[in-house]
Every structure is written in C-alpha cells, then in structure tokens.
Structure 1
Amino acid sequence: MVHIRFEGRSYDLTERQLNVTPGMNDTAIKERLAQHLDIGRDRLQHYIIDRRPSGDLIIRPEAVYG
C-alpha cells in the first residue's frame, strides 16, 4: 500500500497502480507519483518517503517543527 498526503488530501494506492517496486529509490518513486498526479516532479521535491516495516510507503511533506 502507498499512502500519499499531497496538498491537504490523502490518497491510498497500490504499488501496482503507481507501478512501483520495493527496490526503487526515492527519485524513481516520486517520478511515478508525479506522473500519476499529473504534476511536475519539482512539486514533490520536499516530500519524504517513509518505508514502513510492513512494506507500505508513506509519502508526505517534510515536517518542520519549532
């Protein structure tokens, strides 16, 4: 499962829907996500990809505290 938080909205997609595989690096995953959302890759520049022990991915904006 891939959980995405983008511009205040949440999306849950399968790896198959995004055409991602477990060994892909962050850049490749962000490219696939940008294609899926029909946005420029630069809009995901400050997004983090959390890889959970379950194999799920969480793609979210970088958190800023303080």
Structure 2
Amino acid sequence: MVHIRFEGRSYDIAENQLGVTAGMNDKAVKERLAQHFDVRRDRLETYVIERRPSGDLIIRPEAVYG
C-alpha cells in the first residue's frame, strides 16, 4: 500500500494501481505519483518517502520544525 499526503489530503493507493514496485528508487516513485496526480514531478521534489518494514510506502511533504 502507498500512503500519500498530497496538497492537504491523504490517499491510500495500491502499488499496482500506481505501477510502483518494491525495487524502485525515490525518483521513479515520484515520477509515478506525478503521473497519477497529473502534476509536474518537481511538485514532489521536497516530498519524503518512508519505506516501512511491512513494505508500505509513506509519502509526505518534508516536515519543518521550529
């Protein structure tokens, strides 16, 4: 499962729906997300991809504290 926080909304999307596979690097995952949301890839440039032990991906904006 891919959990995405994009433009203030949360989405849960199956990997096969996005075309994401376990061995993909961050750049490739962001390219698939950009295609899915029909935006330019640079909109996701600062997003963080967390890979969970379960195999799930969490994709979110970079957190800024302070």
Fold shared per TM-score above 0.5:
yes
1:14 is aligned to 2:14: yes
Hey, what's the Cα distance between the residues in 2 that align with 1:7 and 1:45?
A: 13
* Residues paired across the two proteins, number: 66
Deviations along 1:8-40, one digit per CA (max 9) or x if unpaired, are: 001100000100100000000000000000000
% identity of equivalent residues:
79
Q: Which runs of 4+ in 1 moved over 4 A?
A: none
The TM-score normalised by the length of structure 2 is 0.98
Match of 1:38 in 2: 38
Q: Which segments of 5 or more consecutive residues in structure 1 lack a partner in the other structure? A: none
RMSD: 0.4
Please list every run of 5 or more consecutive structure 2 residues that lacks an aligned counterpart in the other structure. none
* Aligned match of 2:54: 54
TM-score (norm 1): 0.98
